[in-house]
Amino acid sequence: MINRVVLVGRLTRDPELRTTGSGISVATFTLAVDRQYTNAQGERGADFISCVIWRKSAENFCNFTSKGSLVGIDGRIQTRSYDNKDGQRVYVTEVVVDNFALLESRKDREARGQNGGYTPNNNGNFGNQNTNNTPNMGGSNQNNTANNGPDNTQDPFAGSGDTIDISDDDLPF
């Protein structure tokens, strides 16, 4: 059986961090994921997906995200039920997050927060570019800003002391 979910979306509100009676951290949040198509009015719909994340990952998630943060999550769908205080059976379907990645830079996130909404970055996009094009879904490394900034355009071999000699014969085209 396979039960895997990979989602990219924005948080609809700040994640809620709680602690269980046994001291385990758990955070809940809702992820707004845009649909691929538009309706008759040209508007793009969204699905609002309930998510839960546990332990240290929950603490890190709450420390590095806030309402509107663009995140990628990897997890599984879980269904559960409970009886509410009125004695009615309540069914819940949610994504249990195993790993997550921040998909916007801290600078874009802070600029969006200061301006009260989504602000276009230099490319005309709305603060949602992953500048290193490789979302980190392999673990809970939440800070994806190592390749951001002007240093990307500098020579990676500068200061090595070795001269690189490439002739036309070495090029594949």
- Cβ neighbours, 10 Å, residue 10: 23
Q: Say which residues have a Cβ less than 8 Å from residue 95's Cβ, sequence separation at least 6.
A: 5, 7, 31, 49, 50, 51, 52, 73, 75, 76, 77, 78
Measured distance CA(24)–CA(16) in Å, rounded: 14
| Per-residue pLDDT, 43 | 87
Instruction: Say whether pLDDT at 38 is over 50.
Output: yes
| Per-residue pLDDT, 140 | 43
Measured distance CA(153)–CA(155) in Å, rounded: 7
The H or E element spanning position 111 is helix 106-114
| Per-residue pLDDT, 107 | 79
135/170: higher pLDDT? 170
Q: Rounded mean pLDDT of 35-61?
A: 91
Q: Dump pLDDT digits (tens) for 92-119.
A: 999 999 999 999 887 777 777 666 555 4
Q: How many CA atoms lie within 13 A of 103 on its CB side?
A: 20
| Per-residue pLDDT, 147 | 45
Measured between its terminal Cα atoms, the distance across the chain in Å is 46
| Per-residue pLDDT, 109 | 73
The domains located in the chain, with CATH, are: 5-161 (2.40.50.140)
Give Cα 170 to chain centroid, integer Å.
Answer: 40
Measured distance CA(120)–CA(126) in Å, rounded: 4
Q: Rounded mean pLDDT of 29-35?
A: 94
Residue 111 burial by Cβ neighbours in a 10 Å radius (0-12, 13-18, 19+): middle
Instruction: Say whether pLDDT at 70 is over 50.
Output: yes
pLDDT grade for 14, boundaries at 50, 70 and 90: very high
Instruction: Provide the whole-model pTM.
Output: 0.62
